[in-house]
Amino acid sequence: MILVFGGAYNGKLEYAKAKYNIKDEEIFFCNEKELNYSKKIICGLHKFIYELGKYGENPLDILKENIKELEDKIIICDEISSGIVPLEKSNRIWREDTGRCLQYLTKNSCTVVRIFCGLEMVLKDV
């Protein structure tokens, strides 16, 4: 698994497409509380996490249950708030859930890359 994360609009998807030669039809864009494991890239994991939170579901449990399905995927996720604590409780929960999920995925990824202003920062490469 490859995890690519960073701030919104920092070039994460463009980086992954270029680095791993990915075509548009190989990308699943998260919009709901379901993941499509048939695509090479799962883009916008933070949106999946947000959707699950709206229904009181634990996104970390879902990721753990489906970790085998994620082994050959590139997962793209936004950093939420970059250390700033949101005022709304629902956004605080989303931020915390996203952080927990990113920690779990980092432990289970072969490669972890942070993209900042389009620049690649390799944090893990096993």
pLDDT digits (tens, 9 = 90+) for 50-79: 999 989 999 999 999 999 999 999 999 999
Domain boundaries, the chain: 2-125
For strands 2-6 and 111-116, give the pairing: parallel
Average pLDDT, the chain: 95
**Are 74 and 16 contacting, i.e. CB atoms less than 8 angstroms apart?**
yes
Does the pLDDT value for residue 81 go beyond 80? no
> CATH classification of 2-125, choosing from 3.10.105.10, 3.90.1580.10, 3.40.50.300, 2.40.110.10?
3.40.50.300
Return the residue matching tokens 């005022």. Answer: 87
DSSP state of 91: H
Q: At 78, list the tokens.
A: 């936004």
Measured distance CA(62)–CA(52) in Å, rounded: 9
At 15 the pLDDT is 98
